[in-house]
Amino acid sequence: MSKCSLKLAVVCLTAVFLGACATPDPIPADRYFRVESTLPSGCCGSFAAEFVITPMRADGLYGDRAVLLANPTGTELTQQRYDFWVDSPGRMLSYALLEALREQGGMALVLERGLPEPEQIVITGRVDRFELVRDSEAGRYQPHVAIDFEVSSGVAGLLLAQRFEAVGPAIEYQDALAGKGVSEATSAVFTELMGAIGNILTAGP
């Protein structure tokens, strides 16, 4: 073997050795996020009825805790590997609605734990969209929240069956998760829901 070939072999072996000894990239730590919803002051009015908030349904991928990312058309979803919600979206959104209404005051509220009484107004929901939609600008996402609600009572029957939806502005990924994005879109959905309920109850039979 010539001296040049020997030197080349040594260099190659050294590169392989150093590559094998290199420290691998650290695995990202799991992160957990929650939705904190708020409602405009006085948006719900004052109702004598007692409201029952039932745990919302969230089917398929929406029942998992992994954060979902969608392509611009919403036809393709991917799950984040290290970012999760603190609870399944259905349960988390149910408690977010309950807490937002409690902060309003003047309303009797309960999270369903059994069969509701006939005079109680029952709010049920199914999560239809709960994701971050990739924007055309790299690194920015639009929070998209849509929930199908039904409102009923044993006395009046079905009062409302409607889909409420909110799409927030495109913002940085971290902001979309940490409070500005998904929480604000969820608050917008809840505000529209309670406004619709208020109109129905105010109008009367």
- In this predicted structure, the answer to whether residue 13 has a pLDDT above a threshold of 80 is no
- How many residues appear in the chain? 205
CA-nearest of 150, 176, 175, 174 to 161 is: 150
The amino acid at 168: G
pLDDT (mean) for 35-59: 82
Q: Tokens standing for 112?
A: 């369903």
> If you search the block for the tokens 């309950």, which residue do you land on?
98
> So what's the pLDDT on residue 44?
65
- Between 172 and 9, name the one with better pLDDT: 172
Phi/psi of residue 167, each to 5°?
-125, 120
How many angstroms separate the CA atoms of 122 and 106, rounded? 17
- In this predicted structure, the answer to whether residue 198 has a pLDDT above a threshold of 90 is no
> So what's the pLDDT on residue 16?
46
Angle of the 89-104 helix axis to the 182-203 helix axis, nearest 10: 60
- pLDDT tens-digit map of 132-189: 999 887 789 999 999 999 999 888 899 999 999 999 999 999 888 876 799 999 999 9
